[in-house]
Amino acid sequence: MSREPLLPALLLWTALALLPFAAPAWLLAQLAQYLAYGLLAMSLAYVWGQGGLLSFCQALFFGAGAYAFALAGLGRLPLLPASPGLGLVLAVLVPTALALLLGLLLVGARVATGPAWAVLTLVLGVIAERLAVASPFLGGSNGLAGLPPLALPLPGRTLELLDPLPTYLALLLVAAAVQLGLARAIAAPSGSLLRAVREDPLRAAHLGIDPTRARLRAFTLAAAVAGLGGGLFAAQFGFVAPPLLGLGLSTEVLVWVAVGGRGSPLAALLGAVLVKTVEGLLGEWLGAGWPLALGLLLLLVVLLFPRGIFGGLLARLAGAPDP
């Protein structure tokens, strides 16, 4: 899809902004968590759907953001003060730098397509999780706990993002801003160059586009978004652990995005919320049998909605060409 339709996005964000008037606190807390996951989902939708790079290590950047936030929040970084605000900045910068480095190695080495790319990104996630487990600095398999919450200095007092309502509103604001920003990037001229590279890198190069650079930019931007999500996730829960980096979460986000629709970050975010919600419900109803039911459901969705449940809907609203 070349244009994210604006109206559904604005309607959704407005509705979610009004939700605190009607919803109980536990639901807001739940949704705040899903919105952090939603940032991860949007990042994958961008790099996969727009850039054609199916990354099996997207959680690596989410986790790196979470750990960066934790380390800075706890004051464990040399020369830097303990500061959650700085942590949030680093939650974006560290994954960005990491993605640039890995991207130069992977994308630059022209493995951006084909099986080598899948295997390498998959292995990277596994390695990162193992490293975190083995590293005392990162708290080993227990991870790091007791992180200070994000604090918003308001006139007269400081608002700590501990309670569900401010946490929810903060995540809502960030998710909306990121979604609208990605929609802009997708509609911009450079967005169509990225899609050209996705469609046919060689043809794109013959038009004067540098495929490696376009992919590297997308990979890095997506990592920054995932890292932001990870940082906000850590801030909500006050703790981080190795699974946040690993293959398990990277696979989960793939499912959210496939269900929601990889063509659109908004659809992917909705996919994350939907799958997490269904997961919760199935767990209550079916006990231990829920993964099986979820698997069957996924199979159905992928077969019935190749563009994702929300992706097809949004594409129709945007009047996108049929593939």
Partner 1 sequence: MPTPLLELRHLVKSFGGVLAVAGASLEVEEGRLLALIGPNGCGKTTLFNLVTGIERPEAGSIRLAGREIGGLPPQARARLGIGRTFQVPGVLAALSVRENLEVAATAAGRPRAEVAHALEQAGLGRFAERAAGTLPHGLQQRLELAMVLLQRPRLLLLDEPTAGLELGESLAVAARLRRLVAAEGIAALVVEHDLAFVRALGAEVAVMLRGRIAARGPYARVAADPDVRAAYLGSRA
Interaction site with partner 1 (CB under 8 A): 2, 189-190, 192-193, 195-196, 199-200, 202-211, 319-323
How far out from the chain centre does Cα 78 lie?
28
Which of 253/320 has CB closer to partner 1?
320
Question: Which DSSP symbol is given to 60?
Answer: H
Which of 139/263 has CB closer to partner 1?
263
Which of 76/195 has CB closer to partner 1?
195
The residues pairing with 240 across neighbouring beta strands, listed in sequence order, are: 144
- Least separation in angstroms between residue 204's CB and partner 1 is 7
**CB neighbour class for 76 (10 Å; exposed up to 12, middle 13-18, buried from 19):** middle
- Least separation in angstroms between residue 201's CB and partner 1 is 10
Question: Which DSSP symbol is given to 240?
Answer: E
- Least separation in angstroms between residue 112's CB and partner 1 is 15
- Least separation in angstroms between residue 97's CB and partner 1 is 26
DSSP letter string, 40-51:
HHHHHIIIIIIT
DSSP letter string, 68-119:
HHHHHHTT-STT----HHHHHHHHHHHHHHHHHHHHHHHTTTT-SSSHHHHH
Instruction: State the Cα–Cα distance between residues 278 and 300, nearest whole angstrom.
Output: 14
Instruction: State the Cα–Cα distance between residues 293 and 322, nearest whole angstrom.
Output: 31
Phi, psi dihedral angles at 157 (to 5 degrees): -155, 170
Contact yes or no for 192/2 (Cβ under 8 A): yes
Instruction: State the Cα–Cα distance between residues 77 and 28, nearest whole angstrom.
Output: 32
- Least separation in angstroms between residue 258's CB and partner 1 is 17
Which of 161/204 has CB closer to partner 1?
204
Which of 65/263 has CB closer to partner 1?
263
Which of 163/200 has CB closer to partner 1?
200
- Least separation in angstroms between residue 149's CB and partner 1 is 44
